[in-house]
Structure 1
Amino acid sequence: MDAVGELPDAELLTRHTQGDDRAFGELVRRHRDRLWAVAVRTLGDPEEASDALQDAFVSAFRAAHRFRGDSAVTTWLHRIVVNACLDRMRRRMVRPATPVGDDANLDTLALGHGKGVVSDPTGSSDAAMDVKSALLQLPMEQRSALVLVDMLGYPVDEVARILDVAVGTVKSRCARGRARLLPHVAHLRNRNQAPHVSSEGGGGSQS
């Protein structure tokens, strides 16, 4: 008997279309955790994310015969999950109440992409809460791009393939999303910067 767990993704998908009952289950087992992370951070609600992920797996199960092989299977699966999340948000007008976890990544958003996190615990908590609130205001397309790039760390070119848009579009959505976040978190960035102290006319006493 074949060791299904050792087969590459593309072979598993092919075998699924040929009637192998084990193949799609192995794909789900292999990628479920990462796809769940995308869903829950995009929707911010575990129950909604679970439903969206289930919708996505059903869609992938049924659409496997249309997979053309011009991208990785993981990219194809991620695209289906993101679309399922966006469809659910459009249908139900869902706005995530509280993105789950990732406070450190939210701090990174607050302080500027790739520029570090707030150093003190109180600041980190404040940053996370403020960014969570600001994320509620972002359009769906900007939010999904920021989740994938800034929170989950996907390369921009991979996100472009997942969202089926140009690389420049991903960069633009991220830039616009960060710009919309900035007014809500600018005070956190300022607080994290060391104040400039002039050496002229210093009135402090020396001990």
Structure 2
Amino acid sequence: DSDAFDLLVTRHSADIYALLIRLTNDAEEANDLLQETFLSVVKAIRSFRGDSQLKTWLYRIAVNHSRNRFRWWKRRKFEKTVSLDSSYGDEERPLSDTIRGNLRDPEEDAILRERQQALKDALAALPAIFREVIILSDIEGFDYETIAETLEINIGTVKSRLSRGRAELKRRIKDF
């Protein structure tokens, strides 16, 4: 039913896109993965048994697509370039506008951006098993059980990865 699918996309696409942005740190990549996620949903919707929440199932598909894409890029040793005319992160405006934007206090803004970038870089540098759990817990606000269902791991593994991931993240950003 196309109306039901439209409703599904309307209700969940923003949340899934935000998750994919955090996992990939790339707006264009997140858009591609969002489309792939919903294509997979169309193909597999009949297999949804209702054992978990629909949102958990959708997140699982999105995380799997993100993992697959990461493996694909890693095999190709992709070097990323960013166009100043493309949008950046959650921003709708081009990166060039962001760079030359009106800054109230340049020093404070520079420090804030530096800290944010250090956190993004540190998070991106974490192994995927830690990064995924931190994003789902600390950014998306999921509880341990939902994270375990989404990543298909035990709750104890979620807690362990979260603790170890946070410790590693803290170690990487301690100078900021």
TM over 0.5, shorter chain: yes
Q: Does 1:175 align with 2:175?
A: no
Structure 2 counterpart of 1:200: none
| The structure with more radius of gyration | 1
Q: Which amino acid aligns with 1:85?
A: S
Instruction: Check the 8 A contact 1:43/1:95 in 2, yes or no.
Output: no
Cα distance in 1, alignment partners of residues 175 and 109 from structure 2: 16
- Counterpart of 2:172 in 1: which secondary structure? helix
Match of 2:89 among 100, 119, 125: 100
Q: What is the RMSD of the two structures over their aligned residues, measured on CA atoms?
A: 2.4
Structure 2 counterpart of 1:153: 141
Q: Does 1:127 align with 2:108?
A: no
- Counterpart of 1:153 in 2: which secondary structure? coil
Q: 1:97 to 1:180 in 2, by over 3 A?
A: farther
Q: Does 1:140 align with 2:128?
A: yes
| Greater relative contact order structure (CA < 8 Å, 6+ sep) | 2
Residue-pair matches, total? 151
Q: Which amino acid aligns with 1:75?
A: T
Moved more, 35-44 or 129-138: 129-138
Q: Which amino acid aligns with 2:66?
A: C
Q: Which amino acid aligns with 2:14?
A: D
Q: Does 1:185 align with 2:166?
A: no
- Counterpart of 2:174 in 1: which secondary structure? helix
* Deviations, residues 144-169 of structure 1 (Å, cap 9, x unaligned): 11111112222222111111111111
Give 1:134 shift: 1.4
> How many percent identity over aligned positions?
36
- Counterpart of 1:174 in 2: which secondary structure? helix
Match of 1:90 among 40, 65, 71: 71
Cα distance in 2, alignment partners of residues 138 and 131 from structure 1: 11
Cα distance in 2, alignment partners of residues 148 and 30 from structure 1: 18
Q: Does 1:25 align with 2:14?
A: no
Structure 1 counterpart of 2:24: 43
Structure 1 counterpart of 2:42: 61
Structure 2 counterpart of 1:79: 60
Give 1:38 shift: 0.7
> Which structure: greater helix fraction?
2
TM-score using structure 2 length: 0.76
Match of 1:164 among 152, 160, 167: 152
Cα distance in 1, alignment partners of residues 79 and 152 from structure 2: 23
Q: Which amino acid aligns with 1:169?
A: T
Q: 1:29 to 1:95 in 2, by over 3 A?
A: farther
Cα distance in 1, alignment partners of residues 81 and 149 from structure 2: 28
**Structure 1: where are the runs of 5+ without partners?**
1-19, 102-119, 189-207
Q: Which amino acid aligns with 1:90?
A: R
Q: Following TM superposition, where does structure 1 have runs of at least 4 consecutive aligned residues deviating by more than 6 angstroms?
A: 94-99
